[in-house]
Amino acid sequence: MTALHGGPPVKHLHNYHELTFKLMDDPTRWRERVVEKIVIEDADDVRVTSSYQIRLPLGLVQEVWPSCGSGDLVRILLPLTTRPKGVLLDVDLKGTEGHHCALLLKHQLARLQANFVLWVANAPPGETLASMDADEVLYAISAYSPAIWNQHVAELRNESPQTLAEYLKFGLRLDVRLDDVRHWSELVAPASELLAASMGTPIDLQSAVVHVPRCLPFVEHRPATVDDVSDWLGRFCLYVESVDARTRSIVAAYGQRWDVMIDTVVPVDVPTKIQLGTKRPWHDVAVERPARRRAPGVITQRVMLGDAQSGHVEVHLVDHGARIVGPPEVVDTEGSVIGIPRVDALRMTDDKLSIYVAGEDAPAYVDLSVRLRLRTPMHWLLWLLTLAAAASLPLVVAADSTVLLDESAALLLLPLAGAVLLARPATGAAERLQRRLRGALVGTVALILLVLTVRLTLAVLLSGDEVSAKSGTACPLATSTHDVACVVVDGVTPAKYRSE
């Protein structure tokens, strides 16, 4: 036990992984409440802050530290939540009362998750399954990130077996051939089907358990030969067939999600709060939903309603030129719309939405879709500006003289004023909602400028030709370049230019 910076003593239990495994095994036992706050202020991303109220069970800690009392500080590896596989952007992690709080490195997390699978299956790490080499594939599934594979496909512009062979040849540094890839894919196909079926919910098509060979470059220890890979995959398939459905579901879950594991200090048996802030894209769902939820004014986020004993979701819109419209759509992972009584309470204003959920029957993950729209005055102002600009176009086209054409330039004042109005500083959310109307207005103004420019150019060229045709001779007194404008009009020379 040590004291940090002169503060109260801290018991270091971060190396007692069995304590962490028990927390991973029953997270709702100690996660009392989760509040997810979604702030919309950008055209492409939203800021999501997840606040967890936790209470570390005293009895659980006393299993490894019998003298522990309520309020004592312990340093542990805490499974705060789970997230879809991908990069956490702009992370802001805050521990309790200023204590240190850090995310585990990727390879540390992959090893911990692989050992947790072995622990659930009652096989101590380093014994049964280690000798079977099955945990190499378990580690690879936990460590796998689809972004690297997607980048490889984007560079080669195809997703054929030959592409997979090149990917594995580079990742494993072995002479992987097309026949090897086909053999491995056929070998793991039955195990992939068992794992996908154990999820009980739609599985991400990019999941590692759907494409087990894609995980191979992420193994903890690089294989020496191609035969070693075949042996690992064969033993992994035997393992999947031998374990129970719960263990399979955990392996399948790690194929498309990973735990947000933090190394932190928390008090025992005392309510405390930990915050995790990240940036996410507007549409942040793993399984594609109907296209209408991907409309420009619709934001869709996967939220963790069942991640704790009770959940609270808040959506904040910081742009006063837009508003939240209609009831939100809350859909579970099977695509069913969720409503009362599973949602306990719903409160909505123009710029804030709150959803409250409590109870053990709350789904772990839901897709929340919220529709945004410009406020009515701004919406109609943009429409009127666009219509006014469109109405001025026929007048510019119909002007039949240079004088009318010159005067028609005044019609540009209205659309240009509208363009200046829309160019004012605005939040990213408003810019996203205005894209279609702004595009229509900009296109109309550009068309008016093009027509006006063409007509003025033609008018100048035609007037020049007419003047040249009617000017028979130059003025007799034209003695400098300033007199070139003096011409004979209709055969008559103006009196002031006649020679005496």
Per-residue DSSP letters for 49-70? EEEEEE-B-HHHHHTT-TT--T
Tell me which DSSP letter residue 224 carries: S
User: And the tokens for 190?
Assistant: 């039955």
Quote the pLDDT of residue 294. Answer: 54
Task: Give the whole-angstrom CA distance, residue 363 versus residue 361.
Answer: 6
* pTM for the structure as a whole: 0.75
Q: CA geometry: angle at 406 spanning 405 and 408, to 5°?
A: 65
Q: How much is the CA Rg of the chain, to the nearest whole Å?
A: 35
Rounded Cα distance between 149 and 271, Å, is 42
Give the pLDDT confidence score for residue 107 in this predicted structure: 92
- Contact indicator for 386, 441 with CB cutoff of 8 Å: yes
What's at 278, amino acid-wise?
Answer: T
User: How far is Cα 101 from Cα 263, in angstroms, rounded to an integer?
Assistant: 6
What local confidence, expressed as pLDDT, does residue 367 receive? Answer: 85
The Cα 194–Cα 451 span in angstroms is 65
Do 288 and 91 form a contact (C-beta atoms < 8 A)? Answer: no
**Predicted local distance difference test score (pLDDT) of residue 176:** 93
User: Tens digit of pLDDT for each residue in 369-413?
Assistant: 888 877 656 666 666 667 766 766 676 666 565 555 555 555 555
CA angle, 198 then 202 then 207, to 5°: 80
Q: Which residues of 175-196 are buried (b: 16+ CB within 10 A; e: fewer)?
A: ebeeebbebbbebbeebbebbb
Do residues 119 and 130 make contact, with C-beta atoms less than 8 angstroms apart? no
Q: What is the pLDDT of residue 66?
A: 92
Residue type, 186: E
Q: What tokens does 83 get?
A: 């997230």
User: Which of 83, 143, 78 has the alpha carbon at shortest distance from 113?
Assistant: 143
Residue-level pLDDT, tens digit, the chain, 500 residues: 565 555 678 999 999 999 999 999 999 899 999 999 999 877 778 899 999 999 999 999 999 999 999 999 999 999 999 988 888 888 999 988 778 899 999 999 999 999 999 898 875 554 444 445 578 999 999 999 888 888 888 887 888 889 999 999 999 999 999 999 999 999 999 999 999 888 877 777 788 889 999 999 999 988 999 999 999 999 999 999 988 999 999 999 999 899 999 999 999 999 999 999 999 988 766 544 544 445 667 888 888 877 888 888 999 988 777 788 878 888 876 666 666 556 778 888 888 898 888 766 667 778 888 888 776 566 666 666 677 667 666 766 665 655 555 555 555 555 565 555 554 545 666 666 666 766 776 777 777 767 767 776 776 677 666 556 655 544 444 444 444 444 444 444 454 444 44
Tell me, what's the pLDDT at 207? Answer: 87
DSSP 123-136: --TTSHHHHHTHHH
* Inter-CA distances, 259 with 81, 190, 411, Å: 6, 26, 61
User: How far is 140 from 212, CA to CA, in rounded Å?
Assistant: 9
In the chain, helix, strand, coil percent, each to 5? 45, 25, 30
Exposure class string for 400-439: b at 16+ Cβ within 10 A, else e: eeeeebeebeebbebbeebbeebeeebbbbbbbbbeebbe
Report the chain's mean pLDDT, rounded to a whole number. Answer: 79
Q: How far is CA 360 from CA 29, 37, 306, 418, in A?
A: 11, 22, 8, 54
Query: Which pair of tokens denotes residue 154?
Result: 């984007």
- List the helix and strand counts (H, then E) for the chain: 15, 16
Q: What are phi and psi of 282, to 5 degrees?
A: -55, -40
pLDDT of residue 131: 40
